[in-house]
């Protein structure tokens, strides 16, 4: 569905991305992991055609997106940014209705079907009760849910999500991750950035690790999210361990940053427990 081929991007003379390559298939969730400032959001903007590449290609269904109009790209890809604000006092329902713009002719009014798609998206995100509330009056988490609903109303087959769980509480993080998996089962392709390796383990089919604008690892979550790769990526000691909890027939893994406690008595205990076979209770 989407392929990045040796993508390079510079801000003026500052190199941000270099030789980035990976692909996204229909029904696949791809998570981008990396430290702050490594180019994850910039890469999303390149995938969307919002940034002009220094070199390389972004292909959508085999077509170079550089040759597609903004309307054509919007029918294929829906974007959920990290933060969203609206200048005018739109109701949530009206804000989500904006997602139908790529399907309307110039000067056309929304149809009954457009409003049905909006109602369905609000229901899917569990915020139908907020339909008449002003967008500016929502909490940060509610705004995020509304913007995701707008992307769903857009009916694009590729969802580009920049930290979709960043402003959400524990419950809504879980709901959003479940929704992402559900959408992938329905044939949507999803590429998302996240600062949580645990979320990438739970929801992803493929993980791409970015550091200093380079791809340092790409593959399945189990193959890519390892002690060594996480420690190199973030520059801290990190451990990936199984919890003993089984979901969908496989053991759930968690990622644990190892905190250096200096000369405290607990340091020896932490050092003893860190390793590839770390037990969950030993880490707590």
- Residue 191 tokens read as 């590429």
Q: How far is CA 182 from the centre of its chain?
A: 15
In the chain the domains, ranked by start, together with CATH numbers, are 2-225 (3.40.50.300), 236-284 (no CATH)
Contact between residue 98 and residue 106 where contact means Cβ atoms under 8 Å apart: no
For residue 207, pLDDT over 80 is answered with: yes
Q: 246-263 pLDDT, tens per residue?
A: 776 777 888 988 887 665
Encode pLDDT of 55-114 as tens digits: 999 998 888 988 888 888 988 899 988 877 776 789 999 999 999 988 887 778 888 999
Over the range 68-104, which residues count as b (16 or more CB within 10 Å of their CB) and which as e?
beeeebbebbbbbbeeeeeeeeeebbbbbbebbebbe
The pTM of the whole model exceeds 0.75: yes
How large is the average pLDDT for residues 232-257?
A: 85
Strand partners, 6: none
């Amino acid at each position: 569905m989407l392929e990045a081929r040796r993508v390079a991007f510079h801000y003026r003379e500052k190199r941000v991305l270099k030789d980035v390559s990976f692909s996204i298939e229909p029904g696949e969730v791809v998570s981008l992991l990396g430290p702050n400032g490594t180019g994850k959001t910039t890469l999303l903007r390149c995938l969307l055609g919002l940034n002009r590449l220094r070199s390389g290609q972004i292909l959508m269904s085999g077509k170079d997106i550089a040759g597609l109009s903004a309307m054509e790209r919007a029918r294929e890809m829906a974007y959920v940014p990290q933060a969203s604000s609206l200048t005018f006092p739109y109701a949530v329902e009206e804000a989500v209705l904006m997602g139908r713009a790529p399907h309307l002719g110039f000067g056309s009014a929304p149809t009954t079907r457009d409003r049905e798609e909006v109602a369905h998206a609000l229901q899917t995100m569990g915020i139908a009760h907020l339909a008449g509330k002003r967008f500016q009056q929502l909490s940060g988490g509610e705004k995020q849910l509304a913007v995701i609903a707008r992307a769903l109303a857009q009916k694009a087959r590729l969802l580009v999500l920049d930290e979709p769980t960043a402003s959400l509480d524990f419950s809504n993080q879980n709901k959003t991750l479940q929704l992402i998996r559900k959408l992938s089962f329905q044939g949507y392709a999803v590429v998302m950035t996240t600062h949580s390796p645990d979320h990438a383990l739970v929801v992803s089919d493929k993980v791409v690790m970015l550091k200093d604008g380079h791809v340092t690892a790409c593959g399945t979550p189990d193959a890519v999210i390892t002690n060594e790769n996480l420690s190199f990526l973030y520059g801290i000691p990190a451990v990936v361990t199984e919890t003993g909890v089984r979901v969908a027939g496989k053991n759930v893994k968690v990622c644990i940053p190892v905190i250096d406690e200096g000369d405290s008595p607990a340091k020896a205990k932490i050092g003893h427990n860190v390793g590839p076979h770390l037990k969950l209770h030993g880490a707590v």
